[in-house]
Structure 1
Amino acid sequence: MELLPRSPGDFGSARYWDRFFRQRGQRPFEWYGAFPELCPVLHKYVRPCDKVLVVGCGNSELSEQMYDVGMCEGIVNIDISDAVIRQMRERSGSKRPKMSYLVMDVFQMDFPDAEFQVVLDKGTLDAILTDEEEATLAKVDKMFAEISRVLQVGGRYLCVSLAQAHVLKKAVEYFSQEGWVVRVHQVASSGDKQQFVLPIFVYVMTKFRKIPGSAPRILEICPDEQQKPMRVESTEQLVAAVRDRQHYALLRSQLSGTPCGEQVALDLCDRESGRPRYTLHVVDSPSEKPSRDNHFAIFIIPQGRETEWLFGMEEGRKQLASSAGFRRLVTVALHREQHYEGMAGIQAELSAKVMELAPPGLPAQQQVPFLSVGGDIGVRAVRHRGSSPLSGDYVVEDVRGDGSCHFRRLIFLRSRNVVQSEARLLPSLPLQGQKKRRKDKKKPSPAEPPAAVDKSYLCCEHHKAMVAGLCLLGGPDPLPGTPLAVLVVGLGGGSLPLFIHDYFSQAHVAVVEIDPSMLEVATGWFGFSPGDRLQVHVSDGLDYVAKLAAEAPAQYDAIMFDVDSKDLTVGMSCPPPAFVEKPFLQKVKTILKPEGVFLLNLVCRDAQLKESVLGTLREVFPLLYARRIAGEVNEILFCQPSPEAHRDTAELGARAQALEGALRQPGCPWDSSYVLADMLQAIQIL
């Protein structure tokens, strides 16, 4: 005969359970949660003098083990199955004289009010609450009302559960509305092979007298027995916290099997704030014969470098894992809102958690190394925080890069792993360390002197490509002394228009920026300074270009678009879709001189959308070049209104060398890593 129920309703049928236990015989049936796992939680809430009621006891050994270890003796067990109650009386009658077994329905118990200090439920609620039908919920309400009736004030209802969302939500809402304190414990695994992949939870509902009015509910979760419970504000937050633990358990189960083909990512959050503290990526590398010492390693990404290709992109992390030579590498990114006590502190904090992500077959007592660049966790100093109605919350922060260089970055927190703007700091400006900031929690004064940035250095590769694109201009070589009219849409930190202004002495640069907050950031923190040849117009770029097209056509030698999209639901983060629609592009062409060049920074992850954008650009601009930025999604498009302006790679290289030679004049600092000809070497005609 089949032991599994024919329908969920069988779980509430005495006939089904009689048949089940007759079939099974004397072998104990544990739904989940062995006594060694449950013991630490039970010890917290069950006292030796307590009178305990176990509802839906089945033939579990839990009551017997509690009795045998002296946890308590006054245990009453009930079940609707006459067959199992007879079995349990035979099994325990002479051995445990103070423990009793009764045939009784949890929906209608015969006990007087306030008879027990503890009601213990191991899987009974899960078996009854199989769905959210009205009849099922009514039965559960009846069960909860009976449990509440037989419990004393101050008594505890302990419910061992797999914590399906609808089960947890129902229990929490019912008892919290009655004024009870609700705490959810995650049960620590015993380390043995488990029947269930999902973790086991114990709901601890402590009965208090209901206070009239709107008394605050007390909801807590305790994911670790070694730590204090964490207070949450709502049932939804409690359910979400439990769901996170379940997802983590599923992830661990996945990682304990064969190596993952895809990288797995997860956040470890700070207990106090609930904000992400560490972001982990698990990267498996194929290794047929791993040596004894290269099974597993942890790589701590220095603060501020999590946006670099090697650490921030999937392919980069694959390369890092491969070069490190470990079968599994876990990369750990540190978050700017958090404080860290150096590499040793991070290692102590993460050791237990990351070992749960170890690959299968890791030798016992294997020493797992913690790696980093230069052996430290880097430095990140937040210099300024702000909020813009258009861009949201943002920070300006100083970080140490590879080597001794320090950089200043603008980060929009809605895309916290994307560097919006970056500038290299001059060596004379010391970088504040975290310890100093921890002692002085005051925000930097808005009256700080302008940022000492290296204006000769273009940090962004797409900015370098745009400057190199000026070699496409018609007429004589675009030497620094040649008059030049440039329109830049999108200010950011201002390094691109500032570079053109400083190195092209006859250039007049107009910048259009829709967000006035960005102008404040650029002038206050990135050394940007408007002047006669460098003017900023706070305006919508769409409106500004449309106005110019109507009033003053063919006035710009170069037009540069470096503007991000605020709509994160579109597969194109730069520019906004309206900037590459055909009617608007025709206006751009109108204000561009016939021999000019339109340069567009395109960041598009949607292949179909990208092809559509390129098709539209080709319809408007007969000559279209493209330059991919290595290791990034960015692609720089060089658009020209006349096909006769075509130049081959050799000619472009010669023009680039001539321009660079003119720019590298005495008294004009030049970054030796920036070679204009290299930026045009991989250019392609589309």
Structure 2
Amino acid sequence: MPKKRSAPTVPKNPLEYTDPKFWHDFHNIRQDFEWYGTLNDHFQVFEKKIKPTDAILNIGCGTSQLEFQLSEKGFHNITNIDVDEDVLKKKRTQAAKLLDSQMVYDCCSADNLPYEDNRFDAVIDKGTMDALLPVESVPENCRVFVNKMLSEIFRVLKNQGHYILVTLAQKQILKELYDFTNNNPNLVVRVVPNEIKQDDKFVSTVVIDIVKFPRSFPSIPNWRLSVENRVVEKTRDEICGILDSFFQLSRFSNMCKKRLEHLVTITLSLNIPEYEDSDVKVTVADTEKHRNTIKTHHFIIVPPDSFDKIYNRSQSVFQSMPSLLKVDRVVILEFPFDDVDIARSFVNNFADHFSSSDCEGRPVIATLSPEENSTTIASGTGEICGGYFVVESICDDKTFRRLYFKSSSNIIQSECTIGKTDSGEVRFNHQELCCNYQSAMVSAFGFVPGGFAEVQSRGWNIAVLGVGGGSLISFLHATLPKATITAVEIEPELFNIAHEYFGMPNDDRVKCVTMDAMEWLKDVNSGVYDMLFIDISNPKEQIDEKHVLYGPPPAFVTEDSIKKMKGHLTSHGCLFMNIISSSKKYLNVIQREVAVLFKYILSATVPELAVNNNYILFATCEKPGKPSTENIPSTLLTYQSLSKTFTQVELGVYKEPKGESKK
């Protein structure tokens, strides 16, 4: 008896998906396969868009049982099309056996539909467009076909009808839909990430619902994103970024179904109204004992550090947790807030994503205890910053000295590591940055023409607006031996703290200016610099209906203020800006303002464990260099790898200055 052939679900060449012959062979062998799940996996989205009385067109039905699953839920007026007549014959026979006489099957191509205008209330496409555009580099005739197909779909669709596309939402799919809807402003799009489970694996499907209106509505955003029953307006790039995170979570979750050989980490957007645009960092540690199954799990919540509570976040501690707790797996979640109830709710909702296939019982949830080796060595009150604390903490045999403001005690304002000399005197390690955002700022040196080696060898003139505990200034002083630095700070007490408790140098290479940074920018006599670092924020102000740190304050990111910053830079000068925000919209606003005056912009996201995020922006009018490891001093080698996190921002709004002489 001949052995039954099995059709490959994934062909060797993805372009085979565009060939009707592949599908003919596939359908002859695989008649029980559902691409992207069943109707039940998506019905919570579908039922909001279609009614049982609707006339529905099912594009590229193949051997999917979608129309019969709809019929079971009371939808009977369904027309199904495919280019394979053999498949349709089998479907007609199946419909007759089910006594579903209203089911229609037509053999035709989606780019030339044989129906009158405004015929259908809904058009459903489960995977057909994905098959037509399987990769970014498809032949041009595939794109032409898809464009004709979309035109035909919206021709036969009634006004206020829905085109419902179940897709993996790859870049080429989104681009085609963006281009088409931009040319047809009467179409309104809602994107709904809809993760499904097949054979204990997570599959990141997306339901895209496009509604046809008789006219365009300028007040309605063309594209919207639906997450957790909330609809929000997003740009194309923002939607792509959110979907990328959505896909990464599914891949990460599938990896966690088996035993892990080492620590794995992912950063997720919380999508919680109180902390929108904030992230949680998830680390999964499995027992080092060789076990085939991972059954027992604990989930550990880690709140943010504060001046009186410091948490040990070292990898060695995380890796040792399964052994200490005598379980197979520990999932550590580092939250940007100390609301344990919200954190527990998040864990309960997502526990399955970080659990193995062999997980037994409900998740055990606990909160990490803070380090006991923390001591407040100084405190006081500044005229501007208010109350402050200087704390020493020991983690992983390292002693950290940290500055906190009482108004935002969960955020480290400045940090350095210290040691002791043989005589017991404090020794500051100024050649190492502890704060993630400062490390990211310094990593942008890789984009300065000549890179890290050039930065260290030349006598740069640098201005830093915002001192804190002086850790960035101390680092620049230690690693750039020929540089001169002007430090500008409105709070006089911070200079005292920086010198006394953080060892900030006080020599002829560092000039300390006690002055409002805005007044310094306005003063043309403040000088001209090769590098300008902006690291300022208000202690706390209400932005986006939240009391959070925000920086730079809005007054510093107007076109006039950016122009003043550029006025203090040489023609080859570089701007480094630390942006703190509870919303990425603020970053987008700043990027657009800076892009008007600076030809090249790069930005990076720095996940900080606070109620907000850090973004680093690098801007210059000279073409950025490409970061290289060649000739990098050992003191800067650590920071070179971080330059890979930067992406170039291209907004097309730069205004070439006319008749401007180079300084």
TM-score by length of 1: 0.56
Separation of aligned partners in 2, 1:192 and 1:58: 22
> CA deviation digits over 1:324-369, x for unaligned, max 9?
443322222232xxx553x233212332113420234221x33412
Q: Which residue of 1 aligns with 2:599?
A: none
User: 1:40 is matched by which residue type in structure 2?
Assistant: Q
Separation of aligned partners in 1, 2:345 and 2:485: 46
> CA deviation digits over 1:579-629, x for unaligned, max 9?
xxxxxxxxxxxxxxxxxxxxxxxxxxx999566999xxxxxxxxxxxxxxx
Q: Which residue of 2 aligns with 1:193?
A: 200
Separation of aligned partners in 1, 2:199 and 2:83: 31
Separation of aligned partners in 1, 2:175 and 2:239: 9
1:323 counterpart SS class:
helix
> CA deviation digits over 1:107-127, x for unaligned, max 9?
101100010010001111011
Shift of 1:463: 5.9
**In the alignment, structure 1 residue 54 sits paired with structure 2 residue 58:** yes
Q: Which residue of 2 aligns with 1:204?
A: 209
Shift of 1:239: 1.7
Q: Which has the larger radius of gyration?
A: 1
User: 1:193 is matched by which residue type in structure 2?
Assistant: D
Shift of 1:147: 0.4
Q: Which residue of 1 aligns with 2:418?
A: 462
Separation of aligned partners in 1, 2:293 and 2:114: 66
**In the alignment, structure 1 residue 174 sits paired with structure 2 residue 145:** no
**In the alignment, structure 1 residue 257 sits paired with structure 2 residue 258:** yes
Q: Which residue of 1 aligns with 2:238?
A: 237
Shift of 1:241: 1.2
Unaligned stretches of 5+ residues in structure 1: 388-394, 400-405, 410-417, 426-430, 438-450, 452-457, 472-488, 498-511, 542-564, 570-605, 615-686
Separation of aligned partners in 1, 2:387 and 2:296: 36
> CA deviation digits over 1:629-657, x for unaligned, max 9?
xxxxxxxxxxxxxxxxxxxxxxxxxxxxx
Q: 1:7 to 1:371 in 2, by over 3 A?
A: closer
2:233 counterpart SS class:
strand
User: 1:120 is matched by which residue type in structure 2?
Assistant: I
Unaligned stretches of 5+ residues in structure 2: 375-379, 428-461, 474-482, 513-574, 579-601, 603-628, 638-663
1:356 counterpart SS class:
helix
Q: Which residue of 1 aligns with 2:554?
A: none
Q: Which residue of 2 aligns with 1:311?
A: 312
Q: 1:156 to 1:396 in 2, by over 3 A?
A: farther
> CA deviation digits over 1:543-576, x for unaligned, max 9?
xxxxxxxxxxxxxxxxxxxxxx97999xxxxxxx
Separation of aligned partners in 2, 1:306 and 1:253: 38
Aligned length: 454
TM-score by length of 2: 0.58
Q: 1:521 to 1:344 in 2, by over 3 A?
A: farther
Separation of aligned partners in 2, 1:67 and 1:330: 43
Higher relative contact order (CA 8 A, sep 6+): 2
1:83 counterpart SS class:
helix
The answer to whether the 8 Å contact 1:222/1:230 transfers is yes
Q: Which residue of 2 aligns with 1:69?
A: 73
Q: 1:291 to 1:238 in 2, by over 3 A?
A: closer
Separation of aligned partners in 2, 1:287 and 1:242: 36
The answer to whether the 8 Å contact 1:398/1:408 transfers is no
Separation of aligned partners in 1, 2:37 and 2:131: 15
Q: 1:78 to 1:470 in 2, by over 3 A?
A: closer
**In the alignment, structure 1 residue 153 sits paired with structure 2 residue 129:** no
Separation of aligned partners in 1, 2:171 and 2:18: 20
Q: Which residue of 1 aligns with 2:369?
A: 373
User: 1:368 is matched by which residue type in structure 2?
Assistant: V
Separation of aligned partners in 2, 1:220 and 1:323: 46
**In the alignment, structure 1 residue 348 sits paired with structure 2 residue 345:** yes
> CA deviation digits over 1:15-66, x for unaligned, max 9?
5544443x327x3332221122122121111111110000101121110110
Q: 1:372 to 1:311 in 2, by over 3 A?
A: same
Q: Which residue of 2 aligns with 1:359?
A: 356
Separation of aligned partners in 2, 1:215 and 1:145: 24
**In the alignment, structure 1 residue 30 sits paired with structure 2 residue 34:** yes
**In the alignment, structure 1 residue 162 sits paired with structure 2 residue 138:** no
Q: 1:609 to 1:495 in 2, by over 3 A?
A: closer
Separation of aligned partners in 2, 1:265 and 1:463: 33
User: 1:148 is matched by which residue type in structure 2?
Assistant: F
Q: Which residue of 1 aligns with 2:658?
A: none
Separation of aligned partners in 1, 2:486 and 2:576: 12
Q: 1:45 to 1:525 in 2, by over 3 A?
A: farther
Identity of aligned residues (%): 18
Q: Which residue of 2 aligns with 1:106?
A: 110
**In the alignment, structure 1 residue 284 sits paired with structure 2 residue 286:** yes
> CA deviation digits over 1:115-150, x for unaligned, max 9?
001000111101111344322211110010000100
Separation of aligned partners in 1, 2:399 and 2:40: 50
The answer to whether the 8 Å contact 2:300/2:330 transfers is yes
2:80 counterpart SS class:
strand
Matches within 5 A, 1:303-342: 303-304=304-305, 311-335=312-336, 340-341=338-339
2:312 counterpart SS class:
helix
Separation of aligned partners in 2, 1:68 and 1:492: 66
> CA deviation digits over 1:140-199, x for unaligned, max 9?
1001000010001111001111222211232233225422121122224246435xx531
Q: Which residue of 2 aligns with 1:83?
A: 86
Cα RMSD between the aligned structures?
4.9
Separation of aligned partners in 2, 1:126 and 1:90: 28
Separation of aligned partners in 2, 1:464 and 1:159: 64
Q: 1:421 to 1:119 in 2, by over 3 A?
A: same
User: 2:43 is matched by which residue type in structure 1?
Assistant: C
Question: Is the deviation greater in 323-332 or in 92-101?
Answer: 323-332
**In the alignment, structure 1 residue 121 sits paired with structure 2 residue 125:** yes
